[in-house]
Structure 1
């Protein structure tokens, strides 16, 4: 602690004056030791150095003029150590304790002791990296297969088959993609401004009021998809007609329902 105060005295004459008097110096060293007793001076493994916290205090910018009006204090060093300690704890993963798992108290004490050592800078954080073998890579590829975007687009095959009657547009889209047909939903729609992976909508009312999702796609969306394909003009026209015929499904007929009328006899 004396070395840290001496280093701060190089920057600030107010610190040097407080250390010039033996009684004032002893009181200052005692206060700093009590406040920063658990803050390490240096931790080379994690890049912490208390001297850098002193440098940062006197090099502050963006309108912070604290160093102009007062000398550095212990809480300034604590303010620099707290985010560094939080970063260490976020990187730390509890290693498997060597004690008997049946002894819950010893198991818990070892975990707390390991965490405290990392929080106090006495030990570097234990970090683990996931190792994906070829089998795991194949499994990830199967999870990411299918149409759509986003982290939750995967669905087991048997669940997709059960939901197919309730999601005819999605099932039809997946069947076309499986056959090698380009997916029109992969591009935004220039007509209704539907985003990629979202269905086309009807109507042009503001804020989306009164608009509904369509089971088909607009012709301009198919043209936008073909524009991205490297094909000739004749092939593009044939591909547009083919996609339009495939994607423009006839609407599902509604069930006939009995019409309710009010009864009564006319007099």
Structure 2
């Protein structure tokens, strides 16, 4: 807001609160200068609307800080909801790139442009083409690589096949028989001829673990 707009703002506010305008001309000039400094970044229309809202809810005199505080909160909210679009300027020209970026943010902050919000992809059901792409995002091993590795990872391949077929995943629960933790294959205890006991990985999970996984799936 320019200093020339402050007298008009105070005059319009005085229609709701005559106390806003001092009778003494010198005091009035000082008040105009003070308000102009505090409200330098606030658009005139916003300040007038803020004054109207103030007197619609409060009988107390309006202070310039009331308008400035509300304006900063509005700017902060707009920028928090804004996602910077890619500037059209040449990225090899950092000066033009930065100028366009700052210009867009300033337009959003002052209300000349609405915030650009990229949230449509998370609202509702995505397009089938998008959904198909999303299924692979976040996977460490893509599906086609899993198929190529299947002969070298039989346990992993069997687990993937069970999940794909809708069968319970035994490795999703701890084995009560051998104590194998979640995600680890079952173990068998083997006693060597010298009497020493070792544990070896089982190709198939223990039956009790399969039952536990079935019960867990049924409960879900």
TM-score by length of 2: 0.57
1:183 Cα deviation from its structure 2 partner: 5.1
Q: 1:137 aligns with which of 101, 111, 131?
A: 131
Assess, with a 3 A threshold, how the Cα gap between structure 1 residues 36 and 182 changes in structure 2: closer, same or farther. Answer: same
Q: CA RMSD in A?
A: 4.4
Q: Does the alignment pair 1:173 with 2:159?
A: yes
Assess, with a 3 A threshold, how the Cα gap between structure 1 residues 225 and 104 changes in structure 2: closer, same or farther. Answer: closer
SS of residue matched to 1:137? helix
Q: Does the alignment pair 1:55 with 2:53?
A: yes
Q: Which residue of 1 aligns with 2:197?
A: none
Q: 2:65 aligns with which of 67, 75, 91?
A: 75
Q: Are 1:201 and 1:213, in contact at CA under 8 Å, matched by a contact in 2? A: yes
TM-score by length of 1: 0.49
Q: Which residue of 2 aligns with 1:5?
A: 10
1:95 Cα deviation from its structure 2 partner: 4.8
Q: Deviations over 1:120-170 (max 9, x none)?
A: 334444456768765333222x427xxxxxxx45641326865997894x6
Within 5 Å, which residues of 2 pair with 1:15-164? 16=19, 18-42=21-45, 50-52=48-50, 55=53, 59=57, 71-90=61-80, 91-98=82-89, 100-126=90-116, 134-140=128-134, 142-143=135-136, 152=138, 155-157=141-143, 158=145, 162=149
1:41 Cα deviation from its structure 2 partner: 2.9
Q: Which residue of 1 aligns with 2:200?
A: none
1:79 Cα deviation from its structure 2 partner: 1.7
Assess, with a 3 A threshold, how the Cα gap between structure 1 residues 7 and 173 changes in structure 2: closer, same or farther. Answer: farther
1:84 Cα deviation from its structure 2 partner: 1.5
Aligned length: 183
Q: Deviations over 1:8-65 (max 9, x none)?
A: 556667xx165333322222122111211221133xxxxx6653366359848xxxxx
Q: Which residue of 1 aligns with 2:189?
A: none
Q: Are 1:200 and 1:218, in contact at CA under 8 Å, matched by a contact in 2? A: no
Assess, with a 3 A threshold, how the Cα gap between structure 1 residues 34 and 17 changes in structure 2: closer, same or farther. Answer: closer
Q: Does the alignment pair 1:226 with 2:189?
A: no
Unaligned runs of 5+ in 1: 43-47, 61-66, 145-151, 186-197, 203-210, 229-267
Assess, with a 3 A threshold, how the Cα gap between structure 1 residues 12 and 181 changes in structure 2: closer, same or farther. Answer: same
- 2: CA distance, partners of 1:220 / 1:159: 27
- 1: CA distance, partners of 2:116 / 2:31: 36
Q: Are 2:51 and 2:67, in contact at CA under 8 Å, matched by a contact in 1? A: yes
Q: Deviations over 1:221-248 (max 9, x none)?
A: 53353356xxxxxxxxxxxxxxxxxxxx
